[in-house]
Amino acid sequence: MKNTGLWIRTGIILAITLAGFYLVFGPRRMPNSSDFTWQGIKNNLASNITLGLDLKGGSHLVMRVKTDDYLKKLTENNMQAALSTLQDAKLNVASSQITTENGNYSMSITMADGTNLQDVVDAIKKKIDVAQWTESRSGNTVTWSLPGATQNALKDQAVEQALKIIESRINAFGVKEPTLQRMSKSSGQILLQMPGVEDPERVKKLIGADSNLALMKIVSAPNPSPVTTYPTEEAAKQSLGGVVPPNRKILPFTERDDASKPVDPANKKPTQFVVVEYPAVVDGSELRDAAAVSRTGGQGDYQISFSFKPAGAQKFGEWTGKNINNYMAVVLNDEVKSAAFIKSQIFDSGEISGKFTKATAEDLALTLKSGALPAQIEYEEERTVGPSLGADSIRAGVEASLGGLAFVIVFMLFYYRGSGINAVVALILNMILTVAALVTIKSTLTLPGIAGLILGIGMAVDSNVLIFERIREELRLGLEIPKAISVGFDIAFITIIDTHITTIISSVILYMFGSGPIKGFAVTLILGLLINLFTAVFVSKTIFRWEMSLRPNMPRLSI
Amino acid sequence: MFNLFQNIHIDWLGKRKIFIGFSIFIMLAGLFSALGRQAMPGGTDAFNLGVDFKGGTIVTAKFRSRPSDDDIRAALNKAGIADPVIQSSTNKPDEALIKIPLIEKTTDTGTEQQQKEQVQTGRLSVKAALDTLGPEAEGEATLDTDANAAYKIIGTDSVGAIAGSQLRNQAVTATLLGLVGILLFIAFRYDWTYAAGAVLAVFHDVLMVLSFFSIFQWEINLTVIAAILTIVGFSVNDSIVIFDRVRENIPLHRTDTLFKITNDSINQTLSRTIITAGLVILSVLSLVLFGGEVLRSFSLALLVGLTLGTYSTIAIASPIAIWWQGKLGDTRIKEVLVPQMGEKMASASRRSVTRRPVTR
């Protein structure tokens, strides 16, 4: 039969249409009778389309970066580094003291008699940056303290840094189009609003996760003797002569070998301790990438592989080269996750074995990759909020848009008569399929996305108008109906292809270089245009062909 | 068959000086508005940036019986706060989050002291507005202890911009890169002269829209960025439709000047232009009229921008393309361009070459 091609085209269109309708209005489970009621369709539609913060609302979280803790940690770390430096330089420290309270942050070191204080200061300045600290000396004591203005500047930096890290964490987690705002400068508060996510608690935990990775050398006899561990912290201390020197640290060792027995949270006291050398060989700031990998595919068998930036890899490579057969600890948040001897020189990668579950391993990799937060975060306020555009104005906007659409449909039917039906079918199909595509890629629809949809619909109308006007022109020139239709489609197609490709090119660029709202716009527009090539050209032409095949000798085309 | 706008012979390009003059006039007005407002002591900013862009104060109010978002917005508008963002709190339905832009001419880089004053001013102005709906439970009193009170402000804080300079720069960079992509593609499919015309028309449209926003002090918020992206897409689309007709007409009318061919092409596609633009603009007009207060900036930007997108194809893109071709010399148009264009035409158009009388 000569209509075979036409039937195939029709079959393709029907299949795609049905799939589109199901994706938009159907349930994501076995359909039942309730799915054919008006309410059921509405419910399915609502659960299929994820709306963004501006259209639907979501969680509203106010968190505070503990900036005081940040300064405290900074002071403590500096002190520890200073003492370790002095120990290495064989300068005798009589006593040391740090103050980290009531807005005063200072560290003072008192040297044993007879030490040249200038040597002390020089040695410390070589290792740590104390440029922002005020230095004062009296007798054998040198004191560095942080002036108030510097404290504020440092706190400010810490909040900015935390903001960036939080942003990268929620983006990496796949939260679509959150908004992050700083609140009052002095309080260190950050306001996060994010659209409804499946597991807000997990996101909250992820944002605040404190992940500090360090690779440290364990004080132990080298392989083949087993790694030296101590049953208690006290025993470890005794091995160091009762006092922990500044260049040593005692850390709990919590390696788990058996994933089937999860750590009992009530009894998670570590059973072993190791002594490690301080400072670390390399730390988390040198990480380039981290990923959760499964060794066997089992649920509780995930570990984290990581790789270093070039500088870190260099450092690590040099150190491992010199320390073959020595034991190294992978330390996460001041807990030794694994201890292993170095078989050969390693440069740029390693892994944290520890039998994690998939979710914890993924979250851990993600937080490691985003870098450590400068200080801990606490949540101060939590609420769920309505759409930021306001529910009433969204309703008004939807009604106005539907009104506009109705006007377009009425006009097309009035102006192009029978062919207007083609256009309307193509237009509605375009919208359904675009939304279906958005549902398929799990995109979150926001107002910019809707703007992309509007432009896509505008260009769909334009495609129809271009084709119909061209067919009319060809008819006026005296062409027979089938010829006019085919020439009209062919010529208009050149224009349509050019306009579509141009817009798709620029949208792809917007997608690549834009973020949040710009990406949302680009995605819907690209999908809308690709689908329009199908609906406005393929579908519309098929309808015309049916018309011609059913009424081969029609005297005039209704256009 | 309805036929509007047939056999029209308007000399569009002959009026190019009027068009370009008009555009320059508006853009200069916009520039004066922006610079003037900036320079005037105590004047407003060049643009009326919303809370998305410059931050402001967030006030949490608890109501005894929660008025609708519209009522709160109306009260705030009456008190002179033009563009508040009102967000309901779904788990605490009696509360509302009200975000208002900075009132003083300060930025969020201000000092702590300024920020505190700003929060205080914000609180007072929101209070003044809400007091028209009923008295606040002042001081220590709560809604429980003060039976007359209608609401209580339970929290105030300052908020920074959502769309910090980073997002703004990124939007601009991404759009500019997108335009480079458009420039290259049009140059590849048509000619550099057309590419320049289309892209300059886009710049024209965006600058004109920004001029309108500065002159009328419409609020610029995040939705306006989406509107501007839409305008860019529509403007390019419109330019290409006409360029496509010019490309098709060149080999058909070898004896005509490009000037005439372009005029004819605009006239031939006029019915399409008017129908498409008319439909799109009327739909957007419905959004402006009935789409509500919050979407006003978005819909106004679209209305102005889409109208200009159509206008600029005729008034800016085509004259620039022709002007540049003229600079390259008529010979290029006739001898170099024609075969080149002819080759690039798809077979469908060539079919119409043989079929169609050369003169019409």
Q: Is A395 exposed, middle or buried (0-12, 13-18, 19+ CB in 10 A)?
A: exposed
**Chain A, window 374-393: residues with a beta carbon less than 8 angstroms from a chain B beta carbon:** 381, 383-393
Give which of A312, A307, A319 is closest to A368, Cα–Cα.
A307
Count Cα neighbours of A274 within 13 Å in the Cβ-side half-sphere: 28
Work out the minimum CA distance from B109 to partner chain A, whole angstroms: 9
* Residue with token string 């398929």: A440
pLDDT of residue A355: 65
Interface membership of B120 toward A (CB under 8 Å): no
pLDDT tens profile B174-227: 999 999 999 999 999 988 999 999 999 999 999 999 999 999 989 888 889 889
Q: How confident is the model at residue B359 (pLDDT cuts 50, 70, 90)?
A: very low
- In chain A, which residues have their Cβ closer than 8 Å to the Cβ of B360? none
Residue-range domains of chain A with CATH? 80-143 (no CATH), 213-362 (3.30.1360.200), 391-550 (1.20.1640.10)
Count Cα neighbours of B80 within 13 Å in the Cβ-side half-sphere: 9
Between the two ends of chain B, the Cα-to-Cα distance in Å is 22
Mean predicted lDDT score pLDDT of chain A: 84
Give which of A42, A203, A282, A510 is closest to B179, Cα–Cα.
A510
Q: Give me the helix-helix angle, A4-25 and A38-48, nearest 10°.
A: 80
pLDDT of residue B348: 38
Between B247 and B331, the more confident residue is B247
Which fold, B13-35+164-355? Multidrug efflux transporter AcrB transmembrane fold (1.20.1640)
**Which CATH number is B56-159 given?**
3.30.70.3400
pLDDT of residue B243: 93
- In chain A, which residues have their Cβ closer than 8 Å to the Cβ of B302? 451, 454
Mean pLDDT confidence for B265-292: 91
* Option in A180, A391, A510 nearest B88 (CB): A391
Q: Which residue of B has its CA nearest to A399?
A: B291
pLDDT of residue B117: 80
Q: Do A521 and B230 touch (CB under 8 A)?
A: yes
Residue A111 and residue A117 in contact, taking contact as beta carbons nearer than 8 Å: yes
The answer, yes or no, to whether residue B334 has pLDDT greater than 50, is no
Q: Quote the percentage of chain B above a pLDDT of 70.
A: 86
What is the residue extent of each domain of chain B? 13-35+164-355, 56-159
Among the residue ranges A235-244, B38-47, B72-81, the one predicted with the least confidence is: B38-47
The answer, yes or no, to whether residue B335 has pLDDT greater than 60, is no
Per the omega criterion (within 30 degrees of 0), is the bond before B67 cis? no
* Low-confidence residues of chain A: pLDDT under 50: 1, 257-262, 265-266
- In chain A, which residues have their Cβ closer than 8 Å to the Cβ of B94? none
Segment of A185-194, B70-79, B136-145, B301-310 carrying the highest mean pLDDT? B301-310
Mutation site for A-interface testing, chosen from B275, B284, B296, B353 by largest number of A Cβ within 10 Å: B275
- CA gap A69, A67 in Å, rounded: 5
Report ipTM (2 d.p.). Answer: 0.82
Helices (H) and strands (E) in chain B, counts: 14, 6
pLDDT tens profile A486-516: 999 999 999 999 999 999 999 999 899 887 7
Q: How many residues does chain B have?
A: 360
Work out the minimum CA distance from B180 to partner chain A, whole angstroms: 8
- In chain B, which residues have their Cβ closer than 8 Å to the Cβ of A504? none
pLDDT of residue B328: 78
Give percent helix, percent strand, percent coil of chain A, each to the nearest 5. Answer: 55, 20, 25
Between B7 and B99, the more confident residue is B99
H helical segments located in B191-317: 192-215, 222-252, 258-268, 270-290, 296-312
**A-to-B residue pairs, Cβ atoms closer than 8 angstroms:** 262
The answer, yes or no, to whether residue B107 has pLDDT greater than 80, is no
- Residue A28 CB coordination number (10 Å): 10
Give which of B264, B270, B257 is closest to B311, Cα–Cα.
B270
Q: How confident is the model at residue B163 (pLDDT cuts 50, 70, 90)?
A: low
* Option in A459, A502, A514 nearest B174 (CB): A514
- Residue B243 CB coordination number (10 Å): 28
**Chain A, window 434-463: residues with a beta carbon less than 8 angstroms from a chain B beta carbon:** 447-448, 451-452, 454-455, 458-459, 461-462
pLDDT of residue A261: 46
- CA gap A490, A485 in Å, rounded: 9
Q: What is the largest CA-CA distance in chain A?
A: 115
Q: Give me the helix-helix angle, B222-252 and B318-328, nearest 10°.
A: 50
